[in-house]
Structure 1
């Protein structure tokens, strides 16, 4: 399995790749991160690209049809750089999100993960998924940093806690 380089993301009609959505892997099923969907987000285009499920780390009131909402739980936004107020609660939420992504993805379903900006919380969950898939912490952290710099952000992580969490993730692959 190979990570999709930030500039090599497969184009999706109506979506600015990689600014709005960035590919993580394309096979055996697609896996991606994205920012919070705005207004008339083209969910049918995402479905046509092979995505079946949405994992929301910042739940909202949108309808992702024809995709289905697989998981929706509010993770704490760590844009300030501080660790979570309740580390144990945040850890449990990340673990549940990672489990949901892996179960669907390993069953051949494309999954897209989002928070608000698609960087901190999304990167943490996707980073842990990649660790489960056998990638080293260094590979994952470097990949996420490159992705977000390509997206015009200051890189990844938003908070040191996020990269430490990915770094110390126990793989079961």
Structure 2
């Protein structure tokens, strides 16, 4: 099994498509619930791998780049969190890597349009076709990320229900695997119906 570069992530396709949490600073521009949740998640990550120290945006970005991930599909809204692009590009430049970053904003706990989902699918497929590794993320790597990953798995030939089961299986070693991904019924319905929309 291929090791995941950061704690709250999982390989959808080993060494090609990774999905998970926001790699940047998760604390700022967040409400109190998000701040508390972030502290809990980071504490769990620390206790799972204490030798790695406290998980920070610098560490997450460096680990993703160290795994050779150059393409980033960001599903967060523009003002939802502090951007990590500057950090990502700076660290990539030090390593001689070129970054391809795309944001397709989806409101937290929500769904997106067919057109926006198609943009996500194109970005993922073009990344794979060009031989680049892609990282798909929202904030926690659950709702929006699970919905996009599910639709991608449907495009890869699974039914919607099979795709949802596959996500659960792929996430079994992620610390927050007890939480559903996608997070709610409307997001799961997008995955279940994606084949009919194609």
Smaller-chain TM-score bracket:
0.7 to 0.9
Other structure's SS at 2:70 match: strand
Partner of residue 134, structure 1:
157
Query: Structure 2 matches for 1:1-173, cutoff 5 A?
Result: 8-12=1-5, 15-16=6-7, 20-26=8-14, 29-37=15-23, 38=25, 39-58=57-76, 59=78, 60-63=82-85, 64-65=88-89, 66=92, 68-78=99-109, 84=111, 90-148=113-171, 150-151=173-174, 152=176, 153-170=178-195
Tell me the distance in 1 between the aligned counterparts of 2:58 and 2:196: 38
Deviations 1:1-20 (A, max 9, x none): xxxxxxx44143xx22xxx2
Other structure's SS at 1:36 match: coil
Q: What is the CA-CA distance between 1:118 and the residue it aligns to?
A: 0.5
Give the superposed CA RMSD: 2.6
CA contact (8 A) 1:105 1:111 kept: yes
Q: Normalised by the size of structure 1, how large is the TM-score?
A: 0.74
Q: What is the CA-CA distance between 1:141 and the residue it aligns to?
A: 0.4
Q: 1:41 to 1:48 in 2, by over 3 A?
A: closer
Bigger fraction of residues in helix: 2
Tell me the distance in 1 between the aligned counterparts of 2:137 and 2:130: 20
CA contact (8 A) 1:76 1:90 kept: no
Moved >6 Å (runs of 4+): none
Gaps of 5+ in 1: 1-7
What is the number of equivalent residue pairs in this alignment? Answer: 151
CA contact (8 A) 2:4 2:11 kept: no
Gaps of 5+ in 2: 26-56, 93-97
Tell me the distance in 2 between the aligned counterparts of 1:25 and 1:32: 7
Other structure's SS at 1:121 match: helix
Q: Normalised by the size of structure 2, how large is the TM-score?
A: 0.65
Q: What is the CA-CA distance between 1:128 and the residue it aligns to?
A: 1.1
Q: 1:94 to 1:41 in 2, by over 3 A?
A: farther
CA contact (8 A) 1:30 1:50 kept: no
Tell me the distance in 1 between the aligned counterparts of 2:66 and 2:9: 15
Q: Larger radius of gyration, structure 1 or 2? A: 2
